[in-house]
Structure 1
Amino acid sequence: MQHPKATSIQLDVTASLQKWRAFLAIGELGSLTRAALFLNSNQSLLSRQLNALERECGTRLFVRTGRGVELSDVGQRIFPQVRALLADAEQLENEIREQARDASGRVTLGTLPSIGHHLVGQLFTEVRARYPGVNLKVLEGSSGQVEEWLADARVDIGILYRYGGTLPEHEQCLATVDSYLIGPAGDRLTAQEEVPFRSLHELPFILPSAPNGLRTALDSMARQEHITLAPVIEADSLPLQASLVARERLYTVLPLHAVWTEVGKGEVQAARIVDPPFQRTVALVFAKTKGPAKAVSAIAGLIGEIVDRMARDGMWRTDR
């Protein structure tokens, strides 16, 4: 027998369970006043919620009497089902919270320095507050190193940049990141808000050495756009790239969050690359052999929350 897919389930009237909790309280107590006290609400608000619920259902759920309210015929028929639905929802919520409370063990995160610099401090604070039984270990390295750690299960979760339009099925998109041309303070080119990709032609660059995901993607797009990238020095160190851009008046290509602090201090400038844009995806990847499942899932959830907060600050974009 073929079972329907979960995505085929359609919810409308039952999409919000809170209104049905109000229905249950009113039905059990027989009074809007007593139900409002029980729910720590007020009678006027509860009355409006009840009227809205009856409009959505297209029928009366209660009959008003001189002593309060009574369930209508329809209300009586659905009352046991609503009670069972809410009981199941309460059990699910309790189980979810219990799972979270039980999260424990060591979770190892492999990340790139440009992401870890902003992420790890907030992640540590959240883990200590919400999952005290979880011990967080963080490894920073290049994309190639993080890939190796994932393959060898030395890390449970990896955070990587991916270039191109799609991700493998087992990877989760955390954010979409624009690339910026980074230049020294006072530089006329990077004083603009945006620069076309072709303006990178023969600039004095400091870039990571190949093999490197950024370098490979940059060189590929440069060939497509028929321009020449001219690194005068190669360095994989992010602090060194930012330092030499500022001191030696070089250029590099980085996401804005990688030089967020330096741009804020006015040490370097950043202009978004357009025409065509040069974008990357921040991807979360699980090792095939993961550590303690509850703890790994909990940490992955926290990373998603923190990334969303960073997006609201303008560091990158998310679709969640």
Structure 2
Amino acid sequence: MELRQLRYFVTLAEVGSVSRAAVILNVAQPAISRQIRLLEEELAVSLFYRTGRGMELTEAGHLLMAHAPDVLLGLKKIEKEIGELRGIADGQVVLGIPPTEGHFLVPPLVRRLRAQHPGLALKVIEAFSGHVNEWLVGGRLDVAVFYKLANMQQLITDELLTEGLYLIGKGGLPTDDTPIGLDEIQSMELILPSRSHGLRHLVEHAATQRDLRLNVTLEADALLTIKALVEAGEGRTILPYPSVHREMEAGRLTARPIRREDLSRTLLLVTTRHHPLSLASRVVVREMRLLVRDLVRSGGWPGAVI
């Protein structure tokens, strides 16, 4: 019995039509019919009834179908494990990342992975820091990038960088690179996420430590909405550099650094102890580390230090 024959058999059993199986397998119909005939000759039984409605399994066909998918799955697992021994990273890796960093980090990460590991498929899920712990432990994510939280149990963390935050205003304002303190910001009309958002919690905690009360006049949890409101002159906001770099280059927004001793945060690369990392996941972890290091050292991430 050949592996190819088993794959053809399972596909044909699932769709019930040689023509549809040929499309799925991307082979000619006679090739499928010939391999099924050889398989039947080897087993000395008929596996299908040929009817006007298509192909239907015989009793022997049902018996083979009860085991064949597990056999194929087991062989695929063996191929994957042997590939890992040879250093070949393939399969899907699910990466969780906040939207403020996703559009900045994911495109160059994808370019690196495609160039060096073409068999690796990356799935990206936008995830706020508050959800990541649960999603990692539950297996929804393989790897995550998010900001340091108080509760980091059951997680394996690697500090990527510490970044300062910026006071963001509409375009056309005079450029000022002098760091500003929270005491100067407290009287400004601010547009911030709701209190369930990690960034809002960080900003308000820093203000409370200095006995300051921020003037939050608008709340919006969508990053695009916050930036649109600031562009329209409805207030200012506090964001990291990656979330506004395109708008700054286009002159639609301005950014002034906030004093690091007043406000900063640590970006982490996180996995969980609950699930061992595949070779593909380890590759994503390594490439993300290298990407962040290169961005910081080249000046491509202003306000950040390794």
Classify the TM-score, shorter chain. 0.5 to 0.7
2:127 matched residue in structure 1 = 141
Q: CA deviation at 1:101?
A: 3.4
User: 1:251 and 1:168, CA in 2 relative to 1: closer, same or farther beyond 3 A?
Assistant: farther
2:43 matched residue in structure 1 = none
Q: Tell me if the contact between 2:165 and 2:257 (Cα under 8 Å) persists in the aligned partners.
A: yes
> What's the secondary structure of 1:209's corresponding residue?
coil
Inter-partner Cα distance in structure 2 for 1:134 and 1:195: 44
Aligned match of 2:196 in 204, 211, 214?
211
Inter-partner Cα distance in structure 2 for 1:252 and 1:167: 31
What's the TM-score, normalizing by structure 1?
0.63
How far does the alpha carbon of each residue in 1:252-307 deviate from its partner, in whole angstroms, 9 at most, with x for none? 11111111111111111111111733111110000333465211111100111111
Q: Tell me if the contact between 1:112 and 1:142 (Cα under 8 Å) persists in the aligned partners.
A: yes
User: 1:226 and 1:275, CA in 2 relative to 1: closer, same or farther beyond 3 A?
Assistant: farther
How far does the alpha carbon of each residue in 1:94-119 deviate from its partner, in whole angstroms, 9 at most, with x for none? xxx97573212211000001111011
Q: Tell me if the contact between 2:166 and 2:258 (Cα under 8 Å) persists in the aligned partners.
A: yes
Aligned match of 1:151 in 120, 125, 137?
137
- Alignment of 1:104 with 2:90, yes or no, is yes
2:281 matched residue in structure 1 = 296
Identity %: 31
Q: Tell me if the contact between 1:195 and 1:274 (Cα under 8 Å) persists in the aligned partners.
A: yes
AA partner of residue 272 (structure 1): P
2:158 matched residue in structure 1 = 172
Q: Tell me if the contact between 1:158 and 1:287 (Cα under 8 Å) persists in the aligned partners.
A: no
User: 1:280 and 1:168, CA in 2 relative to 1: closer, same or farther beyond 3 A?
Assistant: farther
- Alignment of 1:265 with 2:243, yes or no, is no
Map 1:38-53 onto structure 2 (within 5 A). Answer: none
Inter-partner Cα distance in structure 2 for 1:209 and 1:107: 31
Inter-partner Cα distance in structure 2 for 1:261 and 1:218: 23
User: 1:275 and 1:225, CA in 2 relative to 1: closer, same or farther beyond 3 A?
Assistant: farther
> What's the secondary structure of 1:218's corresponding residue?
helix
- Alignment of 1:131 with 2:121, yes or no, is no
AA partner of residue 299 (structure 2): D
Aligned match of 2:178 in 180, 190, 193?
193
Aligned match of 1:308 in 261, 285, 293?
293
User: 1:229 and 1:99, CA in 2 relative to 1: closer, same or farther beyond 3 A?
Assistant: farther
Q: CA deviation at 1:196?
A: 1.5
Q: CA deviation at 1:249?
A: 3.7
AA partner of residue 135 (structure 1): A
Q: Tell me if the contact between 1:185 and 1:246 (Cα under 8 Å) persists in the aligned partners.
A: yes
User: 1:201 and 1:292, CA in 2 relative to 1: closer, same or farther beyond 3 A?
Assistant: closer
Q: Tell me if the contact between 2:154 and 2:272 (Cα under 8 Å) persists in the aligned partners.
A: no
Q: Tell me if the contact between 1:108 and 1:154 (Cα under 8 Å) persists in the aligned partners.
A: yes
> What's the secondary structure of 2:111's corresponding residue?
helix
1:202 matched residue in structure 2 = 187
Q: Tell me if the contact between 1:197 and 1:275 (Cα under 8 Å) persists in the aligned partners.
A: no
Inter-partner Cα distance in structure 2 for 1:252 and 1:100: 49
Q: Tell me if the contact between 1:107 and 1:134 (Cα under 8 Å) persists in the aligned partners.
A: yes
Q: CA deviation at 1:185?
A: 2.0
1:81 matched residue in structure 2 = none
Q: Tell me if the contact between 1:114 and 1:257 (Cα under 8 Å) persists in the aligned partners.
A: yes
- Alignment of 1:118 with 2:104, yes or no, is yes
AA partner of residue 224 (structure 2): P
How far does the alpha carbon of each residue in 1:154-200 deviate from its partner, in whole angstroms, 9 at most, with x for none? 00001001268x99982001111101111112335x63432112111
Q: Tell me if the contact between 2:190 and 2:236 (Cα under 8 Å) persists in the aligned partners.
A: yes
Inter-partner Cα distance in structure 2 for 1:275 and 1:104: 41
Map 1:51-90 onto structure 2 (within 5 A). Answer: none
Q: Tell me if the contact between 2:133 and 2:155 (Cα under 8 Å) persists in the aligned partners.
A: no
How far does the alpha carbon of each residue in 1:74-93 deviate from its partner, in whole angstroms, 9 at most, with x for none? xxxxxxxxxxxxxxxxxxxx
RMSD: 2.5
AA partner of residue 232 (structure 2): R
Deviates more, 1:298-307 or 1:212-221: 212-221
Q: Tell me if the contact between 1:179 and 1:277 (Cα under 8 Å) persists in the aligned partners.
A: no
AA partner of residue 183 (structure 1): G
> What's the secondary structure of 1:170's corresponding residue?
strand
2:269 matched residue in structure 1 = 284
User: 1:158 and 1:101, CA in 2 relative to 1: closer, same or farther beyond 3 A?
Assistant: same
